[in-house]
Structure 1
């Protein structure tokens, strides 16, 4: 029998090692540091580190402030029996919100160290818009989408001081923190496997203020995974 790592087998040793790391993380919900992953998989620490960085960057691993890694938010979407995904639940809600406010609405998720736009709903009219394409990456530590995304999860030692206030209020309004002239209002979406938020971006500061109850209502409509089983 041809060994699985033999070049003639046509397999990828790096992929196999990465999957071995992911399997090991799945066995330890409380997380493992790099040295523990290396010991559990028999990999050199530098190899384990590179694999963990790649898994974290792509959302297949999550990393806490103490450097411990656990299974990341991209993994549940690969499993077919977990109920509707956040993106599936959020999309119709976002389209209703965009029509109601006549502004761009999006779903933002924390993937690695970035706030990534994963669903976009554009309004029906052709007025001045801030276009957010799917896959756009913004900082997590400023801007409405990133801050609300952080606030959707439990407190972390490294989070900006204002995140706790956002967590308690259930929304945040920002002005020009990521894009000049952009006003954002966002609401955290707690309870999902990934840190996430609804984000509305507009050039009209008055609209951002008026949007707050509508954005919070949309977040409530999305709810938690338990609401959709």
Structure 2
């Protein structure tokens, strides 16, 4: 994605915008990026890409490996922990209990504009066969159980998916194959939470998803009740 292809009007510092795009490129690349790859993606000269990466490395946001690839650096962990610390602290033990009980991955999603973003993930310790993905996963807010649950936590709006109204009625949302083929999702909005958030469980087994509905609903309510004020 070059700067010319974003379709967004640039406001503020172009250098800062480039630096943030460079950071996102590194973080979102499973194998990291090289200077040339970043230069191509941003549509800039190699020297500019090099300076961006070196600046990020100086601050610990990225690190360069012996293979010349730049990957996520240790300082990103500090930034992640600083985002909604109270919500995460309250949710993680509850998520871990549900994940181990049902043998499924449980994640914490928040609404971010037109997307649902996973900010925390707990994998079960009771089984080695489960779906896993990285925290930071983004999905359209109008598709999938997590998105439906987040929309259900807000007021009704014109044109929203029918699944959102059903989620408001039941207290939880479900989906099948909308984010990943063959994957079942169950999500419940966390009450009294700002920004809007939900707990989401994913599995390839229909029986696990069905059994998870009551547990996810109860877990989301438990977290909501523990939130201050």
SS of equivalent to 2:120: strand
Q: CA deviation at 1:122?
A: 0.4
In the alignment, structure 1 segments of 5+ residues that lack a partner are 1-12, 16-76
Q: Is the contact between residue 103 and residue 130 of structure 2 (CA under 8 Å) also seen in structure 1?
A: no
Residue 228 of structure 1: aligned partner: 228
Q: Is the contact between residue 167 and residue 188 of structure 1 (CA under 8 Å) also seen in structure 2?
A: no
Residue 149 of structure 1: aligned partner: 150
Distance 1:131 1:198 in 2: 15
Distance 1:203 1:78 in 2: 30
In the alignment, structure 2 segments of 5+ residues that lack a partner are 1-10, 14-81
Residue 34 of structure 2: aligned partner: none
Q: Is the contact between residue 128 and residue 203 of structure 1 (CA under 8 Å) also seen in structure 2?
A: no
Summarize deviations over 1:10-51 as a string: whole Å, max 9, x none.
xxx937xxxxxxxxxxxxxxxxxxxxxxxxxxxxxxxxxxxx
Residue 14 of structure 1: aligned partner: 12
Which ranges of 4 or more aligned residues in structure 1 deviate by more than 4 Å?
Answer: none
Task: Count residues with an aligned counterpart.
Answer: 151
Residue 198 of structure 2: aligned partner: 197
Residue 93 of structure 1: aligned partner: 94
Residue 77 of structure 2: aligned partner: none
Residue 212 of structure 1: aligned partner: 213
Summarize deviations over 1:103-129 as a string: whole Å, max 9, x none.
000111111211100110000044332
Residue 185 of structure 1: aligned partner: 186
SS of equivalent to 1:159: coil
Distance 1:149 1:224 in 2: 17
Residue 114 of structure 1: aligned partner: 115
Q: Is the contact between residue 150 and residue 189 of structure 2 (CA under 8 Å) also seen in structure 1?
A: yes
Tell whether 2:82 aligns with 1:104. no
Q: Is the contact between residue 182 and residue 202 of structure 1 (CA under 8 Å) also seen in structure 2?
A: yes
Distance 1:224 1:159, change over 3 A: farther
Residue 130 of structure 2: aligned partner: 129
Q: TM-score, structure 1 length as denominator? A: 0.60
Please give the root-mean-square deviation of Cα atoms over the aligned residues, in Å: 2.2
